[in-house]
Amino acid sequence: MDLAVVLPRFREALAPGAYLAVVGNANVHGPYRQEVWAVTDRYAAVAKHPETADAIAGVLASGLFTIEGEERTELMPFEQSLDEYIEFLHSTSVLSRAQLGNRAGAFDAEVRDVFARHGIDRLRYEVVGSVTWAAPK
């Protein structure tokens, strides 16, 4: 998403008194995280994984909005199978099976190899949610 294009449009589309909300979540993964990102970077249509903080910094840098507040949840434990995690990755626009085409099987195998090297057969990590709201200037 090109913030230079969408932020002015968002500001114009907001009703009087309304806020722009930037909603995010962060997954607190183990030592395998960088290895998984390296695999996804090789296969994804877009290699950069923007973080919620990048979007908030872009909102501030635009000069179009003022950050009014932020709320975060407590860390919540989360667990899923490797199959579920791989399907989650395929649910993203840049790693969908349609996007990967005949490379989907190789992608799945490489992700599984990362977890096998770490002796992981089921993922257990923590998740935190956040919402930041900004008022148009």
Select from 88, 102, 100, 90 the least CA-distant residue to 43.
100
> Tell me: the pLDDT tens digits for 12-48?
999 999 999 999 988 888 889 999 999 999 999 886 6
Which residues, in sequence order, are CB contacts of 102 under 8 Å at separation 6+? none
Q: Domain segments of the chain: what residues?
A: 3-136
Percent of the chain surpassing pLDDT 70: 96
Q: What share of the chain has pLDDT > 90, as a percent?
A: 74
The amino acid that residue 130 corresponds to is: S
Mean pLDDT of 106-133: 96
pTM of the model: 0.76
pLDDT 10s digits, 72-85: 999 999 999 999 99
Collapse the DSSP code of 94 into the 3-class scheme (helix H, G, I; strand E, B; otherwise coil) and give the result.
coil
